[in-house]
Amino acid sequence: MVDRKDIGSWLSGPDTSGVSKYPGERLGLPESGPGSIARAGRRIVAITIDWTIALLISNFAFGGNSWATLAVFAAEQVLLVGTLGYSIGHRAMGIAVVKRGGGNPGPLAALVRAVLLCLVIPAVIFDPDQRGLHDKAMNTVLIRI
């Protein structure tokens, strides 16, 4: 027989005992400050900066061809994130891409991450730790520096 206390009621709401209190808690990251998960505002501004740079280069070198803009954006992501751990926009916003255990993601992770980022959908579907599918696929995290 089930005890009524075990069931609860609709007034008690969903069970939140296993839910983390802030993004990154399940990953062992701090709630705020350096090393914490980069929030959406910083990410949006960073990608806007990166896209604007790609658009300027594309307009100057390729007459504004949309595929060229996407290629320049992807190249920036692969080269800079793969070697330094951050793009120009990331650096301007004080965020960086790191492997879950720490360190730069490396060229392969940066390549796959950039391809998925260019597809857009993986970047806008994210988990409770605010990691997009492109980050989950490569086991990376976008953190504040």
Q: Residue 74: which residues within 8 A CB-CB, separation 6 or more?
A: 114, 115, 117, 118
Tokens read off for 34: 């350096």
Map tokens 């692969």 to a residue.
Answer: 78
Cβ-based burial of 38 (10 A; exposed 0-12, middle 13-18, buried ≥19): buried
pTM of the model: 0.83
Determine whether 73 is exposed, middle or buried from the number of CB atoms within 10 Å of its CB (0-12, 13-18, 19+). Answer: buried
pLDDT at position 96 is: 97
Q: Can you give the pLDDT of all 145 residues of the chain as single tens digits? A: 555 555 555 555 555 556 779 998 999 999 999 999 999 999 999 999 999 999 999 999 999 999 999 999 999 999 999 999 999 999 999 999 999 988 899 999 999 999 999 999 988 898 999 999 999 999 999 999 9
Spell out the residues 6+ positions from residue 132 whose beta carbon is closer than 8 angstroms to its own.
117, 122, 123, 124, 125, 126
